[in-house]
Amino acid sequence: MRRFNNTLHHSKGFVLVGFSEWPKLEMVLFVAISIFYIMTLLGNSAIIILSRLDPRLHTPMYFFLANLSFLDLCYITSTVPQMLVNIQSRWRNISYGGCIAQLFIFLGLGSTECVLLSVMAFDRYVAICQPLHYTVIMHSRLCQQLAAVAWATGFSNSLVQTVLTFLLPRCGQYQVENFFCEVPAMLQLSCVDTWINEVEMYAAVVVIKVIPVGLILFSYINIVRSVVRIQSSEGRKKAFNTCGSHLLVVVMFYGSAISGYAYMAPKSNSAKLKGKLLALFYGLVTPMLNPLIYTLRNKDVKEAVKKLLGRELEQGWNMA
């Protein structure tokens, strides 16, 4: 308790270094990030609205997709507004409480997405490998329970890591080598040995990332086996299209998130830049691409969009 109070007393805030070492790059990033942020808000909001309004999308798959879209909206909003303000400001400060909240929310949402993607893989496994029992197995109560487990697991992991991270003394260190507060960047500020935190962090990576990846691989191995047994080429194509969007999202999210750990303690400026760009990718680009991937490759979503647009145009003509 004494250690925690000492840390609190000396830490009035932090400076988010971000991309300040590359001022020309910052101006390009400001425009790109603003566009990506608006597209993310529109795309994910559209999926949530469509899944609520169109009865054909009242299925387990779209229930989990709506959860993913809501998660992505919160995920990107936890970092991007602060980042845009900092790029345009001479001061890049974030308060102590703001840093705690940002780390807790961002890490909690990222951890939740890891678990949620494995739940979505299980849903596809049941749909393709147990089609006759799909509605019986994936009933609404089970879907709600699986979603609740994903959210609870993600934020429980975040709570533990946030508390352990901010218990560390920083001895006057306050410059965060990133554009938002995250665990690896905060550990670099500590003036004591952080091996316990690093062990705990990598253990969390195993639980939150590696185990869900194993479950996803297990699901897709069985899906491929079932698809190969399908006689008609049209049936095989439909099955692969159903899973293709989810698999692409999984590869992008896990690939960028896991790669980010390679730059946890960068030594050179080029390594720092690569680490920050990777963090930008999984914190900004992936949430923006998710709705595009699902809408471009999904017939049901396309038809729901056409139906909704057709209804709006018809109402517009009637009012005119």
Kindly report, residue by residue over 253-291, the tens digit of the pLDDT: 887 766 655 555 555 566 666 777 777 877 888 888 888
Decide if 287 is inside a domain.
yes
| Residues 114 and 205: beta-carbon distance below 8 Å | no
SS3 176: strand
256 is a domain residue: yes
How many helices (H) and strands (E) are present in the chain, helices listed first? 14, 3
* pLDDT above 70 for 313: no
Confidence of residue 64 (pLDDT cuts 50, 70, 90): very high
Q: What is the CATH number of the domain that holds 34?
A: 1.20.1070.10
185 lies in a domain?
Answer: yes
What is the mean predicted confidence (pLDDT) over 220-245? 80
pLDDT value at residue 312: 53
Q: Decide if 183 contacts 199 (C-beta within 8 A).
A: no
Domain that holds residue 74: 13-312
Return the pLDDT at 145. Answer: 97
Q: Is residue 242 part of a domain?
A: yes
2: pLDDT confidence band, cut at 50, 70 and 90?
very low
Residue 241, domain member (yes or no): yes
Which is higher by pLDDT, 90 or 140? 140
The percentage of residues in the chain with a pLDDT greater than 70, rounded to a whole number, is 86
- Which pLDDT value is given to residue 242? 72
| Structure token pair of residue 227 | 């698809």
Higher per-residue pLDDT: 175 or 303: 175
Query: In whole numbers, what is the pLDDT of the chain averaged over residues?
Result: 82
- In this prediction, residue 309 carries a pLDDT of 67
Tokens for 5?
Answer: 């109070």
**Is residue 319 in some structural domain?**
no
Average pLDDT value for residue range 223-252: 80
Q: What is the mean pLDDT of residues 180-200?
A: 85
Confidence bin at 107 (pLDDT 50/70/90):
very high
Q: What is the pLDDT of residue 102?
A: 94
pLDDT, tens digit, for every residue of 159-169?
999 999 998 88
* Rounded-to-integer distance, Cα 205 and Cα 299, Å: 35
Dist CA 275 CA 287 (whole Å): 18
pLDDT at 173 over 60: yes
> What pLDDT band is residue 112 in, cutting at 50, 70 and 90?
very high
Count other Cβ atoms within 10 Å, centred on residue 247. Answer: 17
Q: What is residue 190's predicted lDDT score, i.e. its pLDDT?
A: 86
Residue 317 lies inside a defined structural domain of this protein: no
* Res. 153: pLDDT tops 60: yes
Overall domain count for the chain: 1
Name the band, by pLDDT with cuts 50, 70 and 90, for residue 10.
very low
pLDDT digits (tens, 9 = 90+) for 114-138: 999 999 999 999 998 888 899 999 9
| Mean pLDDT score, 88-105 | 88
Examine residue 193 and state whether it is found in any structural domain, yes or no. Answer: yes
Helix (H) or strand (E) holding 204: helix 195-205
